Amino acid sequence: MPLELIITPGDIAGVGPEVMLKAYNELIENDQDDFDSEEAKFLFVGPETFWKKTAEDLDLEPPTDFLTSKEIEEALPDNYEIGHISAECGNFAMVCLKQATHYCLEGPQRALITAPLNKEGIRMAGYRNAGHTDFLAAETNSSDATMAFYTPDLKVVLVTHHIPLSQVPTAITSDAILSKIVQADSLAKDLGIKEPKIAVAGLNPHAGENGLLGPEDLDIIAPAVEDARIIGIDARGPYPPDTLFHFAKNKKYDVVVAMYHDQGLIPIKLLSFDQAVNLTLGLPFVRTSPDHGTAYNIAGENQADHHSALQAIKLAARLA
């Protein structure tokens, strides 16, 4: 049974369909050392007419297999403006995502690769989820869905996701941090690392300077690291974030557990803006996504770089 790679369109007013089609064409047309196109079946979510017309506009080969429904067909906007937020495009993105999610739940050997959506657009459409991760967690009843990021040089797992910075100190608990350390260890092993070294970032400058710059590092983060070591995980820290990512990039550590969104995302995007992959841990199936947004400013101009989408597809196949 071939692996099925389920591709969502995301916000169709953005670059999502473009980067997914470009990545698909590269994978089926060129030999890849780390991807065997004959072992995978691509399934594009949405009306066949939409994907074929988009491929034609980009002078690309269209997909051959599609996942659609009456609900999806009816949700496709008749008229929408490329490069602009709309409730109609937000709703279409979410209707496609919902069907793709349930399809992945219904059978084995399925992985989900999601194109970017716009959070304001989905809120305009009446959805209250903060984005892909929250929606997927709710739709699959996954209580420990976690945002993680992959590049060849750096892997990061987040303890907190899309919350205001002012809420982070109360959101990080020893139990939550321990859970993310366990997931980081599992991710590393899924990537073929037999004895992973997991580094945990501190919250405060200099990891709290022994409590002088804040109590969280000593009182919350350090106990979680110790608990992880007790259960056999090679976890270390908390380390000062301003130096930790340098050492992780140079392979001293295999995965970094970061306390909040920008702490983990700034080094990821600095090092690999065009090739980083977002993945969700803790779901019943593999889910990846290119680590960029809808890029409305270049949508419809055939200028979008597809390499993050390419890496997202390859990583999904590798993990699945």
Q: What is the pLDDT of residues 189-229, one digit of tens each?
A: 999 999 999 999 999 999 989 899 999 999 999 999 999 99
List the alpha helices (DSSP H) in 191-306. Answer: 216, 222-230, 241-249, 261-272
| C-alpha triplet 41, 46, 51: angle, nearest 5° | 80
pTM of the shown model: 0.94
Q: pLDDT at position 58, please?
A: 97
Q: Rounded to whole angstroms, how far apart are CA atoms 166 and 196?
A: 32
Q: pLDDT at position 274, please?
A: 83
pLDDT in tens, 224-280: 999 999 999 999 999 999 999 999 999 999 999 999 999 999 999 999 888 899 999
Q: Which fold has domain 3-143+279-319?
A: Isopropylmalate Dehydrogenase (3.40.718)
CATH 3.40.718.10 positions along the chain are 3-143+279-319, 152-266
* Secondary-structure percent of the chain, ordered helix, strand, coil, rounded to 5: 45, 15, 40
Q: Which homologous superfamily does the CATH classification assign to the domain defined by 152-266?
A: Isopropylmalate Dehydrogenase (3.40.718.10)
Cα of first residue to Cα of last residue in the chain, in angstroms, is 13
Written as six digits, the tokens of 267 are: 């080094």
Longest dimension (CA), the chain: 62
pLDDT in tens, 67-121: 999 999 999 999 999 999 999 999 999 999 999 999 999 989 999 999 999 999 9
Interval 287-310 mean pLDDT: 96
Q: Rounded to whole angstroms, how far apart are CA atoms 264 and 257?
A: 8
Q: What's the mean pLDDT when you consider all of the chain? A: 95
